[in-house]
Amino acid sequence: MVSGTVMLACSLLFAQVQRPGEYPRGVKPSPMMNFFVTSEPIGDGGNLGGLAGADAHCQTLAAAVGAGNRTWHAYLSTQARPGKPAVNARDRIGTGPWYNFKGEMIAQDLAHLHGDTMELAHQGNNLNKLTGLTEKGQIVPGLYDYSDPRDNDWSYAKNTRFSTRHEMLTGTRTDGTAFTDAQDHTCDNWTSNASPASGRDGDLNASDGRLNAQIGFPDRNGGGSGSWNSAHGTRGCAQEDLPKTHGIGLFYCFATN
């Protein structure tokens, strides 16, 4: 009885206070959830085992919170290779509308999600720091949440869920399609964990030819634009390279049905 009262009072007092990284107490994902940010990386940098490996990660995480009845795909593009056409992230995720852990709408359809027209692009979709939730309902820690120099160090980041980790792998341009230039933007189509030669880590647009992944921000904070799907590249593709710019290899998952 007393503990019930306390819990009730607490839930009222802290109703608005769910800090980044924390799990919401006693709340399950909305049955409508067909979008989430992965709560954990695969852990091998840009090597996700290709699109199939990334999709399987989405499916496993979804199943663990009771949402495995849907078919989940990772929001990732792959670039064209000899004999293999490019795959566009936007063509992999169904047609929407998509809802997050709380049942809040992220976007109505593909055009709204990506801002296909000037009008839609300026309006923007509804993905932001408070809606870009993991399958466990967490807000993804972003810039300044618990700023710590160790955020850039994987050996620290892997042991806490509170390090800054707001860079989502996408390998995608702002319109949701694959890059068509000669540079790598997908860690070799999500199969590489290579780290660049030393001294080649200055340019986040990868004009130096190193393997890297294009990323976006669910919290819309950073990279000079706050783009949710295409802000800049990473230092490299090793797991240790990703935290150098405040990512850990998380990505977006969408259900196609």
Partner 1 sequence: MAKKSIFILAACLLLAQQDSPTAQFNTQGITPPAGSNPSPAKMTFFVTSIGMGKGGDLGGLAGADAHCQALAAAVGAGSHTWHAYLSTQARPGQPAINARDRIGTGPWFNWSFAQLGAPQNAVISANLAELHGDTLVQAQRGSNLFKQSTRNEHGQLINGVGDTPPIQHEILTGSKWDGRAYDDNADHTCNNWTSSTIGSAQVGHSDRIGNGSSWNSSNATKGCSQAALESTGGAGLFYCFAIN
> Which positions lie near partner 1, rule CB under 8 A?
5-7, 9-10, 13-14, 16-17, 19, 21-23, 25, 114-115, 117-119, 121-130, 143-144, 146-149, 151, 160, 162, 173-175, 220-222, 224-228, 230-231
What DSSP letter does each residue of 185-241 carry, written as one string? SBHHHHT----PPTT--S-TT-TT----B-EE-TT--STTT--SS-SB--S-SSTTT
The nearer residue to partner 1, 199 or 224, going by C-beta atoms, is 224
The nearer residue to partner 1, 148 or 240, going by C-beta atoms, is 148
- Least distance from partner 1 to the Cβ atom of residue 256, Å: 23
| CB-based contact 251:169 (threshold 8 Å) | yes
The nearer residue to partner 1, 155 or 257, going by C-beta atoms, is 155
Which residue, among 236, 214, 106, 126, has the nearest Cα to 167 in the 3D structure? 214
Alpha helices in the chain (DSSP H): 2-13, 50-64, 110-114, 118-123, 154-157, 187-190
- Least distance from partner 1 to the Cβ atom of residue 219, Å: 8
- Least distance from partner 1 to the Cβ atom of residue 189, Å: 23
Could you give the CA distance from residue 129 to residue 66 in angstroms, rounded to a whole number?
A: 24
The nearer residue to partner 1, 60 or 183, going by C-beta atoms, is 183
- Least distance from partner 1 to the Cβ atom of residue 221, Å: 4
The nearer residue to partner 1, 144 or 257, going by C-beta atoms, is 144
